[in-house]
C-alpha cells in the first residue's frame, strides 16, 4: 500500500486487495481490534450496507466499508461465520475497476453475491 494523501482521493494512492486484507487482519489482532471491528457498518443495519440484497442468514454477518471513486469500487471487511469452527471470521477485500457507466449498481450485485458466498459456502 502507498497512501499519498489522507482523503484517499489522489490517483497516486496505491492499494491492492491483498494489502487491504493484510492491514485489516493485522489490525484486528491489536488491542484496538475489537473497536475497529465494532466501528465497521453491518450489512442490513447501517452505512452503505444498510440496504443490501442479502439473505436473512447473511444480514448482520458482514461488517465492511465500501468505497467508490469514478469507475472504481471497493468492498473490504469481515465475514462472521459462527457455525464454522475452523474459519469463524474471514477477512476479505474485493476491488473492481474500469466499471461501466453505473459502477455502484453492477458492483453492488457482485459484492452481495460475494458476501453470500463468504458467509454460506464451506471453506477449505
Q: What is the mean pLDDT of the chain?
A: 88
Identify whether the C-beta of residue 52 lies closer than 8 Å to the C-beta of residue 112: yes
Q: Where do the domains of the chain lie?
A: 17-120
Mean pLDDT computed over 7-36: 89
Residue 22 has pLDDT above 80, yes or no: yes
**pLDDT value at residue 79:** 96
Residue 18 has pLDDT above 90, yes or no: yes
pLDDT band per the 50, 70, 90 thresholds, residue 2 = confident
**Better pLDDT: 7 or 47:** 47
Identify whether the C-beta of residue 49 lies closer than 8 Å to the C-beta of residue 36: no
User: If phi over 0 gives left and psi between -120 and 50 gives alpha, with beta otherwise, what is residue 26?
Assistant: alpha
Tell me: the pLDDT tens digits for 45-83? 999 899 998 999 999 999 999 988 777 889 999 999 988
CATH of domain 17-120: 3.40.710.10
Mean pLDDT computed over 96-114: 77
CA distance 122 to 31: 30
Beta strands at 89-96 and 72-80: parallel, antiparallel or unpaired:
antiparallel
Cβ atoms < 10 Å from Cβ of 2? 8
Amino acid at each position: 500500500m502507498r497512501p499519498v494523501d489522507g482523503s484517499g482521493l489522489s490517483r497516486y494512492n496505491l492499494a491492492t486487495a491483498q494489502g487491504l486484507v493484510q492491514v485489516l487482519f493485522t489490525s484486528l489482532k491489536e488491542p484496538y481490534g475489537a473497536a475497529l471491528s465494532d466501528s465497521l457498518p453491518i450489512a442490513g443495519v447501517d452505512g452503505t450496507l444498510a440496504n443490501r440484497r442479502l439473505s436473512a442468514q447473511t444480514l448482520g454477518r458482514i461488517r465492511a466499508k465500501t468505497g467508490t471513486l469514478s469507475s472504481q469500487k471497493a468492498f473490504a471487511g469481515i465475514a462472521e461465520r459462527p457455525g464454522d469452527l475452523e474459519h469463524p471470521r474471514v477477512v476479505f477485500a474485493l476491488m473492481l475497476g474500469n466499471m461501466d457507466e453505473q459502477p455502484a449498481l453492477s458492483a453492488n450485485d457482485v459484492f452481495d453475491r460475494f458476501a453470500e458466498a463468504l458467509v454460506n459456502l464451506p471453506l477449505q
